[in-house]
A = this chain, B = another copy of it.
Amino acid sequence: MVVGRVPQNRKARGMSADTIVVYGHDLVNEIIGRWSFAELVYAAITDGSRPTTAQARLIDVLLTTFVDHGVTPSSLAARLTFLGAPEAMQAAVAAGLNGAGSRYLGTMQQAAEMLRDAVLEHKVSRSDPRLSTIACEIVDAYRMAASPIPGLGHPEHKSGDPRTPALMRIARETELAGVHCELLFALGEAYRQRSGKQLPVNAAGLAGAIVIDMGLPPEAAKGLALIGRAGGLVGVVLSELRQPTAQQIWDGLR
């Protein structure tokens, strides 16, 4: 682990009364109006790189996929927090994020780590004929340990997570999908062969694979999901402002 320097002070980072520097780029003359939010997020998680058009498109799609929607534990926690602390919208959004933990976002990071480790270990690259053998070995190991395989299956979408083909289509169009996506689908196929049962690739697992294919660390998958969820949670709080529901939710439970 490389121990970094304490974040540089403003002068060192090039800030003056006239210039604001963000990840090494001039906010006013370079970024505002020229970079999309997805591009700036990519710079944020890579410490300064501007993405290609394809990378920016894929980041944007990942953010979009993880906007929290509907009635989730996170959105309920945000509504109930806002009921008690309407003076602090930020605290309601933060309460919702606090629940975006291992149980929902863990899959994504575990799938990313499993795929990265297997690809590193076997030194495979795209279209490698060994991928199906490797997939079978991984499936056998998880089945032997009676552990769920990260990235496969969905509690509700039994016959297939509908987001998976949509996400994969974009990943292919951007030509950024690579060996980690391939290995993930090979795992789904290997599972079918070995167990005779369907356990299709889920969107969280695919997002994890895409993030590794983009050269980002596994934690970036979780980070992108958190930003998407922040978008959804802000929507939840504004919806609560327009049409309060938290009191009724509470009344229905006590």
A: which residues have CB within 8 A of B? 1-10, 13, 15, 17-23, 27-29, 31-33, 35-38, 40-41, 43-45, 47, 60-61, 63-65, 67, 69-77, 80-95, 97-105, 156-159, 162-163, 165-167, 169-170, 217, 219-220, 222-224, 226-228, 230-232, 234-239, 241-250, 252-254
Contacts and interface: CB of A to CB of B under 8 A. Distances in A.
Contacts of A3: 243-245, 247-248
Contact of A67 (B40, B75, B252, B253): B40
B226 A234 contact: yes
A147 to B, nearest CB: 17
Contacts of A67: 22, 37, 40-41, 44
A79 to B, nearest CB: 8
A85 B103 contact: yes
Given A17-B157, A22-B70, A89 B5 contact: no
B245 A7 contact: yes
A231 B61 contact: no
B64 A87 contact: no
A166 B32 contact: yes
A16 to B, nearest CB: 9
B244 A15 contact: no
B238 A45 contact: yes
Contacts of A33: 61, 166, 169-170
A91 B91 contact: yes
Highest count of chain B CB atoms <10 Å: which of A4, A220, A222, A248: A4
Contacts of A156: 17
A48 to B, nearest CB: 10
B81 A103 contact: no
20 contacts: A4-B242, A6-B249, A7-B245, A10-B254, A20-B69, A20-B162, A32-B166, A33-B166, A33-B170, A37-B38, A37-B63, A47-B238, A80-B80, A81-B98, A82-B99, A85-B90, A85-B103, A95-B98, A97-B97, A220-B238
Contact of A98 (B65, B70, B94): B94
